[in-house]
Amino acid sequence: MIELIPAIDIIGGKCVRLTKGDYSTKKEYGDPVSMAREFEQLGFKRLHVVDLDGAKSKHVVNDATLRAITQATKLTVDFGGGVKTEDDLKKAYEAGATLVTAGSIAITNPELYLEWLQKYGADHLILGADVRNGKVSINGWLEDSDVELTDFLTRYMKAGTRNVLCTEISRDGMLQGTAVDLYKQVMKAHPNCHLIASGGVSCIQDIEALEEAGIPAVVFGKAIYEGRIDLKELSKKMLL
């Protein structure tokens, strides 16, 4: 059964969604804590929280909102956005995150990422692999690296990484379906990877397609906020 992970993206303490990571497309959807409580009441166990202010400013910004979410719910929260230093990492854990996503740092400072992997363990760290045109993007998708996704994943999976959050940026927020073929390729190359697919979910059928493809987990957000997915129906069709 695929793990279902609703997403809350935060700017200025508010729940928002972007399209393809473009900050100029910001659309607000209210209070993150209220949204998290609603997800929990519907039966979800896990939550994906992204500090978009942090991603842009290159340091964690919305840790107070993260703390409010973790104190108000019993959800297992994974957190990302702006985690560039160990202080950022500690700030996220201290605010209640169980897992923290580190993506840009794995490109800009590989030694530090590997140090975190050893110190905090593979169960508490997620490798962020945000991809555009086959290459990894960093700093809130504002910059593209010259690192190929395949090389990036191979290096860190060999080092002991287990959790990978992979977003196909061109699909993010577009509500036009997920990059199933890309995720299949990742799973074929790394069958032991706990892959979290992200970007493009538009309906329950997209989630079912990922499950049929053997993808372990999926993050989805805009389809919820735009009313494309009925969470009650989803909870009936797929065990949360």
Report the catalytic residues: 9, 130
Question: Which phi and psi (to 5°) does residue 155 adopt?
Answer: -60, -50
Q: Cβ–Cβ contacts within 10 Å for residue 170, how many?
A: 15
Largest CA distance in the chain: 45
Angle, alpha carbons 86-72-10 (nearest 5°): 55
Q: Cβ–Cβ contacts within 10 Å for residue 158, how many?
A: 9
Q: How far is CA 92 from the centre of its chain?
A: 14
Residue in this structure with the two tokens 């409580």, named with its chain if needed: 37
Asked if 238 and 207 touch (Cβ cutoff 8 Å), the reply is: yes
The residues facing 66 across adjacent strands are none
Q: Phi/psi zone of residue 193: left (φ > 0), alpha (ψ -120 to 50 degrees), beta?
A: beta
Q: How far apart are CA 165 and CA 29, in angstroms?
A: 23
Q: How far is CA 168 from the centre of its chain?
A: 11
Inter-helix orientation angle 63-72/32-41, to 10°: 30
Asked if 53 and 59 touch (Cβ cutoff 8 Å), the reply is: no
